[in-house]
Amino acid sequence: MQVISLEGDRVVMLDQTLLPGEERIIECESTECVAEAIEKLRIRGAPALGIAAAFAMAQTAVRSRGRSREEVLEALRRTYERIKATRPTAVNLHAALDRVMRSAEASDDPAEAAVSEAMKIYEEEQEASRKLCEHGAELLRDGDVVLTHCNTGMLATATLGTALGVIVTAWKQGKRLRVFADETRPLLQGARLTAWELVKAGIPVTVIADGSAGYVMRTQGVSKVIVGADRIALNGDTANKIGTYSLAVLAKEHGAEFYIAAPLSTIDPNIESGEEIPVEQRSREELEFFNGRRIVPEQAEVLNLAFDVTPAEYITGIITEAGVLRPPYEESIRRALRL
């Protein structure tokens, strides 16, 4: 199944907000359509967001062919600014925009350069996911009880996946695993998307409420927690879907190994620690209403955080295409990035 693709001057993607009930394809013919899809989480997951951003730039480039060099660059800059404003936390999105823009500005044919760089980003993410999943699967043992959070599979990466891809790869190697998937508030990506992917892969999964994770760790013998990431600082501090920090603290208390699975493209070389990571807040309406009915009093304040930041001290290892990075992360991350 194709999660996202570039077909001529159209960005084609699966609308993830409708899963698991309906599999509907969106064909975006404008930058605004792609931006809206990102903002509404029709496409989501750090690597997939990077691909979506790159494809939005490529779409503009294709539509600008035949214009002057400056006209093409100006069109690309408008797309750059619109897509950049959609999501503040996921570094892949911003990095992809920067890469495509730099390539266009350095070329005599900016339209062709933009399309070429966008496809290169897509291909690199595919290869990174494959290698990452192989490295991560080596960490899993037959009989492991694994807990995961949010959605980090094909839907989040447009390829094998990160944390969920590691689980699926290990299962295909013949390792019998028990998998618990947090429902993941506020938009239930774990219940809707992760469970859907695991069921389609034929892997038994048990969906649990976010608030029950600690008790499940204590009573069900959870041995490993594997999650994805939206941005990783140079010291290993990691931003991921809200609830991840709580899982890391619980894992340490219950003796479970806690892994981040993310491509090197999710590491932000421009920030030293998690204190510099912007944490997105989503609309209060997402928590105030259920099935169209108000469930929170209007007078109550609402803090709807989309992400949290897990300090590196709680992370057992960071699974990347370059291997599993271990503490001290200040050293292993810089080596992996060749800084």
Catalytic pick among 230, 237, 268, 308: 230
Cβ neighbours of residue 137 closer than 8 Å, sequence gap 6 or more: 166, 169, 170, 173, 175
Q: Does residue 210 carry a catalytic annotation?
A: no
> What 3 state SS string does 235-299 have?
CCCEEEECCHHHHHHHHHHHCCEEEEECCHHHECCCCCCHHHCCCCECCCHHHHEECCEECCCCC
Structure tokens at 205: 């999964």
Nearest to 263, CA basis, from 135, 144, 137: 135
Identity of the residue numbered 254: H
Torsion angle, alpha carbons of 10, 12, 18, 24, to 10: 100
Residue pair 230/197 in contact (Cβ under 8 Å)? The answer is no
**Rounded to whole angstroms, how far apart are CA atoms 263 and 314?**
19
Identity of the residue numbered 215: Y
Query: What sign does the CA torsion over 105, 36, 29, 22 have?
Result: positive
Torsion angle, alpha carbons of 162, 250, 183, 130, to 10: 10
Query: Can you say how many angstroms the Cα of residue 275 is from the centroid of all Cα atoms in its chain?
Result: 20
Residue pair 302/284 in contact (Cβ under 8 Å)? The answer is yes
Residue pair 264/322 in contact (Cβ under 8 Å)? The answer is yes
Q: Which residues are catalytic?
A: 230
